[in-house]
Amino acid sequence: MIAQQLVNGLMLGAIYVLVAVSFTLSIGILNFLNFSIPGLFMVGGMATWILIGKGLHWSLAILGAVGAAGLVALAVERLSYRRSQAREPEVPLVSSLGFLVLLENLALVGAGSDQQAFPALVPDFNLRIAGLVVGGAQLISLAVALALVVAMSLVLSRTSLGRQVRSIAENRETAVILGIDVGRLVPAIFLLSAVFTALGGVLFALNYLQVSPFMGEGVGFKGVAAMILGGMGSIWGAVAGGLLIGLTEVLSITYLGADVVNVSVYGLLLAVMVLRPQGLFGRPPAREKL
C-alpha cells in the first residue's frame, strides 16, 4: 500500500532532518562543513546502547549519550575549528574528518565491528490508524524532529540570542564590532548541533533496534544531500530535503529494489542541482543565511 510507504518514508526522513539541520547550522552560521557530525550521530546511538547495557534507565542513558556527544562537539570546536580559523578553509574540514575516523575506531575497539542489537524499550509499540501501521518510536522521532526545528526557528527569528547568531552568520567581523560575544556563541552552536545529531542517533537506534560504529556514515551522506537539496543555509530547506530523501529511499526500496536506493536518492539530488542549483529553498546567487 503506497500510503503505508509514504508514512514509512516520512518517519525515516525525520532522522535525516535532524542530521541535515545539524549540517545546516554548521554551514549557515560558521561556514564550516563539520565532518565529525556522522561521528556524533554514532556516539548518540552507541553510547545509549552501552549505558543501557550497564544497567542505567533508558532516560538517563539517552541524557548521558547526548552529553557525551556535546563534549565531543566542544572538543571539535576547541581543537579543530578554533585553532584552524586563520588557516586555509580545508584545514578544519580535514581535521573534523579526523575526529570522525577517531570516533569510529574507538567504538570499533570497544564494541567490535558487528552490528549490535538495541533493546526494544516498549515491546510492540505500534499504532494502527485507518489500516496503517505506524511505529510508536517512529512517530516520536517525527514529532521530536519537527518540535526541535520549530523551537530553534523561533529562537533564531524572535529572540535577542537568535539575532546575535544571525549576525555571526551574516558577517563575523561586523558581529564582533557590534559587541557580540562570538567566542561564547560559537561553542553554543557546536553544542546545539551535537544535540540535534545525537538525538538523531538515539532515534535511529530506537527505530531500527541496531547500532554499530559506522552507523553514522550512510546517514551523514544522506544528511548532506538533504541539506544541499533543500538549499544551503536554509533550516526549513533542510527539513524539506530530509523528508524528501526519506520518501525517495522508502519508495525506491518498495518499487525498484534495495540495490537502486542510492541511484534514486543521489539521482534526485543531481536532477535538482541541474534544474535549480541553489536547492529548493535556496536563494541565488548568495548563500541564504538562516
- Which cell is 91 given? 584545514
236, 153 in Cβ contact below 8 A?
Answer: yes
In tens, the pLDDT along 190-203 reads 998 999 899 999 98
CA neighbours within 13 Å on the CB side: how many for 186?
19
Residue 284 pLDDT more than 70? Answer: no
Residue 42 pLDDT more than 90? Answer: yes
Q: Which of 43-52, 67-76, 210-219, 232-241 has the lowest mean pLDDT?
A: 232-241
Q: DSSP state, 276?
A: -
272, 224 in Cβ contact below 8 A?
Answer: no
Which pLDDT score, from 0 to 100, does residue 290 have? Answer: 53
Which pLDDT score, from 0 to 100, does residue 109 have? Answer: 92
Residue 251 pLDDT more than 70? Answer: yes
Task: Just give the CATH number of 1-111+130-275.
Answer: 1.10.3470
Mean pLDDT on 171-177 = 81
- Which stretches within the chain are classed as H helix? 2-30, 37-53, 58-76, 90-111, 136-158, 160-170, 172-177, 182-208, 215-230, 235-255, 261-275
With a threshold of 0.85, does the pTM exceed it? yes
Backbone angles phi, psi at 17, to 5 degrees: -60, -45
Which residues have CB under 8 Å from 193's CB, separation 6+? 22, 25, 26, 34, 37, 40, 73
Backbone angles phi, psi at 167, to 5 degrees: -65, -40
When pLDDT is cut at 50, 70 and 90, the band that residue 267 belongs to is very high
Q: Which of 43-47, 176-180, 235-239, 252-256 has the lowest mean pLDDT?
A: 176-180
Sequence-separated contacts (24+) of 272-275 with Cβ below 8 Å: 272/229, 273/228
Mean pLDDT on 172-179 = 82
Q: Which of 229-233, 252-256, 264-268 has the lowest mean pLDDT?
A: 229-233
Matching residue, cell 541553489? 278
**Calpha distance 154→129 (Å, rounded):** 31
Mean pLDDT on 166-174 = 81
Which pLDDT score, from 0 to 100, does residue 86 have? Answer: 67
* Burial annotation 164-188 (CB, 10 A radius, 16+ → b, else e): bbbbbbeebeebeeeebeeeebbbe
What Cα–Cα distance (Å) separates residue 142 from each residue in 21, 44, 147, 200?
14, 17, 8, 10
**Calpha distance 221→245 (Å, rounded):** 11
Task: Give me the sign of the Cα torsion angle 281, 29, 97, 38.
Answer: negative
Higher pLDDT, 110 or 128: 110
Task: Give me the sign of the Cα torsion angle 59, 139, 231, 151.
Answer: negative
What Cα–Cα distance (Å) separates residue 165 from each residue in 107, 148, 182, 276, 281?
34, 17, 9, 28, 20
Mean pLDDT on 217-228 = 90
A 10 A CB-CB count for 155 gives: 14
In tens, the pLDDT along 68-126 reads 999 999 999 998 888 877 667 677 778 888 899 999 999 999 888 888 999 887 776 67
Distance of CA 177 to the CA centre of its chain: 32
